[in-house]
A and B are shown apart, each in its own frame.
Chain A
Amino acid sequence: ETGVTQSPTHLIKTRGQQVTLRCSSQSGHNTVSWYQQALGQGPQFIFQYYREEENGRGNFPPRFSGLQFPNYSSELNVNALELDDSALYLCASSPGLAGGQSAQYFGPGTRLLVL
């Protein structure tokens, strides 16, 4: 069974640029959630995708957008990067049990630095 993978591992961008982060979910999982983790803080929920549709969103502006593909992999896109976007971006997958909660399993993250 393959775990959650993310790419790239590290990324450096400048203000105003756009970035795309990628995530492959764990085998058998159809739900992907994205989190932003600033240094010394707990992860903050960005949004979740289930069956290729957004299934909830946290307090993040519209320049944070995402996609989920038929194979359940996902992308996080951030436009017009700001310095405060520097963080560890985590992807988590879960079985997405209808009507019930399930554990989310995290990937190693992508460390984004905005200069």
Chain B
Amino acid sequence: GESVGLHLPTLSVQEGDNSIINCAYSNSASDYFIWYKQESGKGPQFIIDIRSNMDKRQGQRVTVLLNKTVKHLSLQIAATQPGDSAVYFCAEIPQGLPPNSGGSNYKLTFGKGTLLTVNP
């Protein structure tokens, strides 16, 4: 079935370095993507999103890049801090139909996640 997967299950970086977390998606109909951060014992926290009509989007210390040609998504974190240590998930939503039209057009499909560890 359709799935979203991550290239690297773990990533260890030094404090102050930049981090890059990668994600491959297989559903070519997906046109909206979200990165979430999940700390131990907590729910996923929204970081940044991007729609398929964009290649790049920047937030505070984070940048998401989307390459639709190879169905690849990445999250770049600048000047990584110990507080950035968490599991990062990419999630996708396929093109949707109006609500209550049936089907799961608004469901998020998650990968397994990448564990980011920031060493002081």
Contact = CB atoms under 8 A, between A and B. Distances in A.
A51 B100 contact: yes
B96 A103 contact: no
Q: How large is the interface on B (under 10, 10 to 19, 20 to 34, 35 or more residues)?
A: 20 to 34
B106 A48 contact: yes
B43 A108 contact: yes
B46 to A, nearest CB: 5
B106 A101 contact: yes
A72 to B, nearest CB: 13
Contacts of A94: 106
Interface string B19-62: 00000000000011010100000111110010100000000000
Nearest to B113: A42
Measured as residues with beta carbon below 8 angstroms from the partner, the interface class of chain A is: 20 to 34
B109 interface: yes
Most chain B CB within a 10 A radius of its CB, from A31, A35, A47: A35
Contacts of A98: 98-99
Contacts of A4: 43
B107 to A, nearest CB: 4
Given A42-B111, A42-B112, A90-B44, 17 more contacts: A43-B108, A43-B110, A47-B104, A48-B106, A51-B99, A56-B102, A56-B103, A56-B104, A56-B105, A56-B106, A57-B104, A58-B107, A92-B108, A96-B99, A96-B106, A103-B46, A103-B49
Interface of A: 4, 31, 33, 35, 40-45, 47-48, 50-51, 53, 55-58, 90, 92, 94, 96, 98-101, 103-109
